[in-house]
Amino acid sequence: MNNQAPADEDVQLKCEDGTYLDANISRPAAGMPLHGSVVIAGALGVPRRFYQALANFLSSNGYAVLRFDYRGIEGSGPSQRGRDVRLYDWGRYDIDAALAAGQKLSSDRHFMIGHSCGGQLLGLAPSAAHLDGAIFVASTLANPDLYPAPARYGLRMMWNAIIPLVSFGRDRFPARRLGFSNVDIPSGVMSEWARWARGDAYLFSQRFGLDLSRYSALNIPLLSFSFEDDGYASVAAISGLLDKFPACVVENRYFARGELPIGKIGHFGFFRDKAKETLWQQTLDWLWLESNPQKVVAAHENASTPSADQTP
């Protein structure tokens, strides 16, 4: 690992529909080789500042990293009424703008890390077609039927009653007060999230009429991290989302409770400093391998006979 401090700059992204998003770009220190670019697409109601530590880690190891706030989160898109912002917009326009900007950061390989809904929405973004790989962290198909009891009952209550009732007539969903997030969220986003979750296949339900063609067309390496102690990500819900990317080469890394020596991971622990020597290093190793295509062939040929000292 290189210990030089990365250079970080504030930027704005312009989406196809004219909305501006606040973002940051972390670049490797001067003189370091650049291996590629990484866009971090965050979870529902999680601001870009939460991902700064991981961005700095990746930048210190040769990747230009872009992280951004979705419209309606902190300073992004302040001119829009919260009830008019859709979760669909976050994928179709916001992630798309971030991926397009990320592709300009490097002439080499381009990747995305999607946390929770950041992975769910990837196939809505046209610029996803230019990615060379993606990493999902705790990304699932949000459907209560894919969760065991008693979790499914709590999710049904949230998606069928709490969110619709609290969102009604508001511009901002009071996520901080209700313990959903540490920032408030546009009510339109929360309403659509709950509406999709009440469908038979989340956003993939035919009744929503979305263009889902990019999900089946995307053909890239896809690494998924998930954790047994994450109450928002059951095994079935994780697999349900990965199944929506049939052309991708999928690697699903599921960690049982206590399998890693870093304590509780849950839905957010992957992005905390305590994961640096384990999960972040695995992320870096995967990115480096996929950034060097000539190495990938050899790695795949040897995958069936791993050595004793390989990272699991």
Judged against a pLDDT cut of 70, whether residue 293 lies above it is answered with no
Q: What is the pLDDT of residues 93-143, one digit of tens each?
A: 999 999 999 999 998 899 999 999 999 999 999 999 999 999 999 999 999
Report which of 72, 50, 66 is spatially closest to residue 182, judged by C-alpha positions. 50
> Any idea what DSSP says for residue 41?
E
Q: What is the mean pLDDT of residues 288-295?
A: 80
The pLDDT value given to residue 3: 52
CB 229 within 8 A of CB 268: no
Judged against a pLDDT cut of 80, whether residue 301 lies above it is answered with no
Q: What is the mean pLDDT of the chain?
A: 91
115 by DSSP, 3-state: which?
Answer: strand
- 75-114: b or e for each residue (b if 16 or more CB lie within 10 Å)? ebbeebebbebbbbbbbbbbbbbbbbbbbebbebbbbbbb
Judged against a pLDDT cut of 80, whether residue 195 lies above it is answered with yes
- What DSSP string describes 133-159? EEEEES-----GGGS-TTHHHHHHHII
Q: What is the pLDDT of residues 14-41, one digit of tens each?
A: 999 999 999 999 999 988 999 999 999 9
Q: What is the mean pLDDT of residues 215-236?
A: 96
User: CA-CA distance, 59 to 168, in Å (whole number)?
Assistant: 42
Using CA of residue 68, residue 70, residue 74, residue 75, what is the dihedral sign?
positive
Beta bridge mates, 13: 21
**Token pair for 3:** 């210990």
Q: What is the mean pLDDT of residues 149-178?
A: 93
User: CA-CA distance, 10 to 5, in Å (whole number)?
Assistant: 16
User: CA-CA distance, 169 to 106, in Å (whole number)?
Assistant: 44
The percentage of residues in the chain with a pLDDT greater than 90, rounded to a whole number, is 81
pTM (predicted TM-score)? 0.91
User: CA-CA distance, 83 to 173, in Å (whole number)?
Assistant: 9
